[in-house]
Chain A
Amino acid sequence: VHRQMPTKFKDLRTSSKLLLLCSMFSIAIATTTYVLVAEKLIAINFAQKELAGTRYLTTLRSVYAAILTGRDLPGSGKQGGLSPSAVLGDLAATQSRAAGSMDTSQLEDSLSVTLSELWSGKAEAPSINMLVPKALAQARALISRIADDSNLALDPDLDTYYLQNLAMNRLPLLLGQLGEVQSLFESPAAGAAPNTLNVRILVLSGLVDSTLDGIKSDINAAYRGNPGKAFKAAMDSDVSSLVSAATSYLESARQQLAGGAPVSSDDRDGSQRYSFAVDEAIGTWTAIQAELDHLLNQRISRLSLRLWGSLLLIAILVSLSILTAALTHRHITQPLERLEAVARKVRKRKDYSLRAKYVAEDEIGGLAAAFNDMMSELAAARERESAEQARIAGLQADLTRAARLTTMGEIAATIAHEINQPLTAIVTNASAGLRWIGNPSPNVEEAKAALARIVKDGHRASQVIASIRLMLKRNPRDKAQIDINDAVREVLAISHDELQSREIIVETALSPELPTVMADRVQIQQVFANLIMNATDAMSLIVDRPRTLRVVSANNDPASVTVCVEDSGPGIEEADRDRIFTPFYTTKSEGMGLGLSICRTIIEDHGGRLAAARGQAHGSIFTVTLPTGSAAA
């Protein structure tokens, strides 16, 4: 498997490879996107849950306000529109909203019970004294639970963390402590010793001081977390007025104690300072919560902005990668496929003029250019090759033709040799036989053997002659309709060099309207070549007049075609006129005397005639008459 994998991958088409690459990249992007979105959504949900917590807090703040400033609510209803039933209803509604996300129902229930009891109007002073701290403690516990369950206690940012610590911890604590101090002033516990009370108030005021210190340090920490000037400006005045209000209340409370005056509910100044401090605390609390909400909302919008931004970036990246893949496909695979198609077409059609149409500076462009160069080279090489082949073919055709036309001489030489050999043997054997018999002691056996060899060689000579006859009897299938003028021109062309070197003037008068003749082209050309060579030889000694060779073709009689070969040589003696066609008769010093005889045989074989005549002034005329196609045998 390990070995197969690469080959399999190698065998994939490039487009598939690109698709694979693209899809793997997409999966990677999708995974990253999922993680990113999930993370952002978690952070957003976290902040939204915190907001739910602060919303709960709004209701609880009115509860605090009701407990601390309107303890005689049922009677007077002096705190504006705050009625106990409205506050309780609000609390219940808030609880039902938060029921899903926070585990606060039990704490809320017990707080509601305490509050109902507190505000029922039936409670006695001592029990009120007990109920107020109880309600405050329960409210604080509820707030603490809300802080835990709504993630506020786990807030990750410095500014919001300290703000929530102020809202969920310090301010409820401060209000509780203030309320406790005031309640000690207003309705001291029955039977409690004044000293004990004083000590308690002093301890509490010390606790309030430390809480105020905590508030100050918290707000400073929050400033460190959020260096924005607007934030500090929004918070600073509220916090400092709260601190001063609470401090002045504590001052008056201490003075009261130091003055030794008994704690009295009629102390107008003290309760005024108290309600001012509580109002300030509630106001600060409201401000802090508003700021907290603002910061949380800001965080949520920032997170969602980042989320959408990231999604947009990813979308752009994905589309860019797809675009790149598509472009890669277009600039690598498509040109390669086109190149392949061109190569295949070239192979199929053998058309080397085809070219790959792709121009680019990259490797593929280089490949296409190299491919085209190679094609040009191939085309040039093929051209050269075919030119060479044509040249060789032409050369061979010329050689074949020349060979055919010179066969006559070759044949003559071969015949000479083939007949001369048995003749030599015959003569020698005859001489030997004579000697064997003529010796002083005649050897008849040797003489008889010599005579037997003479018989054998005689037969051999006649066989040679028979085979020449057979050779001259051509296959009629070699005959075809030929243009005599063409045949003549070809022979003249081949003999051109020879004629020129012998200073012979060639004149032709070939009739343009010659009918075709049914003939063996090669044999007819052999005849013409022979006649032309004879004429040339005849003129070799002529010096006093031009050596003129004249070839005339005519069609005087519709049934035949005539070709005359005329020379300006010495001409034929009247006595020789008929003998020249006899085999082995020659007037030349070097000649077999076979040429004209064979020529006549060939022409007669074609149903024609070969005649010789004297020229008008000098020289001789050889006339070949051949029947036209219709009259041919």
Chain B
Amino acid sequence: MKSEPGQTQSVVFVVDDDPSVRDALTSLMSSVGLCVKTFGSPSEFLADSLPEIPSCLVLDVRLPGLSGLDFQTELNRINISMPIIFITGHGDVPMTVRAMKGGAVEFLTKPFRDQDLLDAVQLALDQDRARRKIQQQTSHLKSKFEHLTPREREVMSCVVSGMMNKQIAAHLGVSEITVKVHRGNIMRKMDAGSLADLVRMADDLGIKVGKR
């Protein structure tokens, strides 16, 4: 049993056209405390609003209308980056390769071992959680960066590229005192404890180095 407390803060989506399979999957995942939401077709899934919590998708390859693999492509296209676990009655090598290339977490053949599925779901949820965390941090950093004045941003790009205050003052045509004031503001606004912190933040934000 890998059931952990706090699992309700995530959701597993299931898309399979067979109601028996949907019911069985719901029961299995509920038994380990996972929150499950099932759909009979891709369009039903897309019609539903997606919550902003860690989630993954258990997707049948053989679906009415759009195949599971095509649906994966479609999701990538519309920028829904949710980890996918494929389940299929009859999987061959090319199909598996394509699914994995498309970013699938796992490719399971029906009937599958329950532990295999639950492990895959766990892995997928962890992946999504991590992804969301990074995303959140980046956006937080971004909002802080947005509070800098254009001049401060200029100074910051110079600082993280390793320039001395004197060099920066000469480069921007201002006094060294002014550079020092900007630097203090930057460190305060970005909530950076050290120069190394600031450099890492700049790296996360993808700020290009302000060398001439």
Which residues in A have some Cβ–Cβ distance to B below 8 Å?
413, 416-417, 420-429, 431-433, 435-436, 439, 443, 446, 449-450, 453, 456-457, 460
Is B18 interfacial (CB-CB < 8 Å)? yes
Q: How many A-B residue pairs have CB under 8 A?
A: 82
Assess the A421–B20 pair: CB atoms within 8 A.
yes
Give CA–CA (A417, B21) in the complex, Å: 12
Beyond known contacts A420-B111, A425-B20, A435-B28: 5 more, CB 8 A cutoff? A417-B90, A425-B18, A428-B28, A429-B23, A453-B24
Interface of A is mostly: helix
Would you list the 6 A-B pairs with minimal beta carbon distance, nearest first?
A431-B114, A428-B24, A432-B28, A425-B20, A427-B111, A435-B31
- What residues of chain B lie closer than 8 Å to A431, measured between beta carbons? 28, 113-114
State which of A420, A429, A435 has its C-beta within 8 Å of the C-beta of B32.
Answer: A435
Is B27 interfacial (CB-CB < 8 Å)? yes
Assess the B24–A425 pair: CB atoms within 8 A.
yes
Name 17 interchain pairs, CB-CB below 8 A, sorted by A. Answer: A416-B89, A420-B89, A421-B18, A423-B110, A423-B111, A424-B21, A426-B111, A427-B111, A428-B21, A428-B28, A429-B27, A429-B28, A432-B30, A432-B114, A435-B1, A446-B31, A450-B27
- What residues of chain A lie closer than 8 Å to B111, measured between beta carbons? 420, 423-424, 426-428
Assess the A425–B90 pair: CB atoms within 8 A.
no
Give CA–CA (A240, B90) in the complex, Å: 150
Q: How large is the interface on B (under 10, 10 to 19, 20 to 34, 35 or more residues)?
A: 20 to 34
Contact A460-B20, Cβ < 8 Å, known A428-B28, A435-B114, A449-B27: yes
Which residues of chain B from 1 to 53 have any CB-CB distance to chain A below 8 Å in the complex?
Answer: 1, 18, 20-21, 23-25, 27-28, 30-32
Give CA–CA (A460, B112) in the complex, Å: 19
Is B180 interfacial (CB-CB < 8 Å)? no
Assess the B20–A446 pair: CB atoms within 8 A.
no
Shortest C-beta distance, B136 to chain A (Å), equals: 33
Assess the A425–B62 pair: CB atoms within 8 A.
no
Assess the A456–B28 pair: CB atoms within 8 A.
no
Assess the A421–B114 pair: CB atoms within 8 A.
no
- What residues of chain B lie closer than 8 Å to A426, measured between beta carbons? 24, 111
- What residues of chain A lie closer than 8 Å to B28, measured between beta carbons? 428-429, 431-432, 435
- What residues of chain B lie closer than 8 Å to A422, measured between beta carbons? 20
Shortest C-beta distance, A281 to chain B (Å), equals: 139
Q: Hey, what's the 0/1 contact readout for B65-100 against A, CB within 8 Å counting as 1?
A: 000000000000000000000010110000000000
- What residues of chain A lie closer than 8 Å to B87, measured between beta carbons? 424
- What residues of chain B lie closer than 8 Å to A436, measured between beta carbons? 27, 31
- What residues of chain B lie closer than 8 Å to A457, measured between beta carbons? 20, 24
Closest chain A residue to B33, Cβ basis = A439
Closest chain B residue to A456, Cβ basis = B20
Shortest C-beta distance, A444 to chain B (Å), equals: 12
Give CA–CA (A449, B28) in the complex, Å: 12
Closest chain A residue to B110, Cβ basis = A424
Assess the B62–A417 pair: CB atoms within 8 A.
yes
Assess the B23–A453 pair: CB atoms within 8 A.
yes
State which of A432, A439, A453 has its C-beta within 8 Å of the C-beta of B20.
Answer: A453
State which of A413, A424, A460 has its C-beta within 8 Å of the C-beta of B24.
Answer: A424
Closest chain B residue to A425, Cβ basis = B20
Give CA–CA (A432, B25) in the complex, Å: 8
- What residues of chain B lie closer than 8 Å to A453, measured between beta carbons? 20, 23-24, 27
Give CA–CA (A431, B111) in the complex, Å: 11
Give CA–CA (A132, B32) in the complex, Å: 177
Give CA–CA (A112, B20) in the complex, Å: 154
- What residues of chain A lie closer than 8 Å to B25, measured between beta carbons? 428
Q: Hey, what's the 0/1 contact readout for B167-188 against A, CB within 8 Å counting as 1?
A: 0000000000000000000000
- What residues of chain A lie closer than 8 Å to B20, measured between beta carbons? 421-422, 425, 453, 456-457, 460
Shortest C-beta distance, A184 to chain B (Å), equals: 152
Give CA–CA (A449, B20) in the complex, Å: 12
Which residues of chain B from 94 to 121 have any CB-CB distance to chain A below 8 Å in the complex?
Answer: 110-114, 117
- What residues of chain A lie closer than 8 Å to B32, measured between beta carbons? 435
Assess the A425–B21 pair: CB atoms within 8 A.
yes
Give CA–CA (A583, B79) in the complex, Å: 47
- What residues of chain B lie closer than 8 Å to A420, measured between beta carbons? 89-90, 110-111
